[in-house]
Structure 1
Amino acid sequence: MNLNISGHHIDMTEALHNYVASKMERVERHFDHVIDAEVVLEVEKVRHKAEVTMQVRGATLHAESTKEDMYAAIDCMVDKLDRQTLKHKEKEKDHHNRQARHVNLDAG
């Protein structure tokens, strides 16, 4: 997975970068067809916002969270993304296991 982490109005410390990377590993563990993920961390006065756009096979998933603490925002964002990933995985699994219906088209 290509992971791109950037920040707006925030100093990207090594600890913050490692925290996001470790949390995103959990998502990748549940769904191994992740192509690319872009995480943007943003601070506006007392609001800390974390958002991610992740490209997976067959879809683009997006999650964001706003909290008073950056680490809480990251945790909430990853939880939302994890739920979306599991839902996408189930849809993909159901789609591949679905068998074609056999319809008898006798005209007469």
Structure 2
Amino acid sequence: MNLTVTGLNLDVTEALREYISTKLARINRHSDSIISTTVTLCTVEKSKHKVEADVHLAGKDLHVETIEDDMYAAIDVLMDKLDRMVLKYKEKSTDHRATPSGRETVTQQD
């Protein structure tokens, strides 16, 4: 998985990068089809922090954004939202049919 962390109007510290990568490890365990992730950190106002994430899955692109008072709290809320979206996509993409062909198998009894 490729991870890109960028900052708009703020410097991205190594602590923020490490925090984001540890939080993304949980999401990476739920889905093996994550190709790349881009996380953008920015400040909206003096006390508001906005975090956006674009996740490229095999067959789907997800976009999530949050605004919170603290940067770490915004990252936590973002990862929770992203985790729910990835799980929802994974459940939708699984095949729920009983047989691969879609037909029921009929057994003959003597």
Q: TM-score range by the shorter chain?
A: 0.7 to 0.9
Residue 75 in structure 1 maps to residue 76 in structure 2: yes
Q: Which structure 1 segments of 5+ residues have no match? A: 103-108
Deviation at 1:100, TM superposition (A): 2.8
Q: CA RMSD in A?
A: 1.7
Identity %: 45
Alignment correspondent of 2:24: 24
Counterpart code for 2:72: Y
TM-score of the two chains, using structure 2 as the length reference: 0.85
Alignment correspondent of 2:87: 86
TM-score of the two chains, using structure 1 as the length reference: 0.87
Partner SS state of residue 25, structure 1: helix
In structure 1, how many angstroms separate the alpha carbons of the residues matched to 2:34 and 2:81? 16
Greater percentage in helix: 1
Counterpart code for 1:26: R
Alignment correspondent of 2:34: 34
Matched residue count: 102
